[in-house]
Amino acid sequence: MTLFRSLAIAGLFATSAQAQVPPPQPHGAGAFDRHRYQADQHRYEMDRLRLQADQRDAVSAQIAVETQLNRMRSQATRRAEPVQPQPYRALRSPEEERALRLSAEERRAATSEGVGEIDAWLDRTPR
């Protein structure tokens, strides 16, 4: 609605600004009329520039709305990720659990031994 009104006003200003011709000057009134004519020209130009800025603002707002709509459409057309059921935890006997714990302890001990050797080598005194 404001875009249509802005375009109508722009059309009025464009036609009135093109038809502006300084009126003929009677003797003795030159300076006053010349300044008034110049002020009118400045006012018309400022109105034209304001209208142009309003039009740019309207176009940018329209583009922002269209962008948001396009983003919403693309998100709506996406497929949802299929829901994966949670894997069931395997039930083990107490003996299997104990064996797994012992093997994990052995792995940790082996890892810490290797790290200890590296730390000892790094902590050696330089010669």
Q: How far apart are CA 52 and CA 6, in angstroms?
A: 9
**pLDDT tens digits for 34-67?**
888 889 999 999 999 999 999 999 999 999 999 9
Side chain identity, residue 44: Y
Ranges of each domain in the chain: 2-22+32-75, 94-127
Indicate whether 123 pLDDT > 90.
Answer: no
Residue 34's closest CA among 22, 43, 42? 22
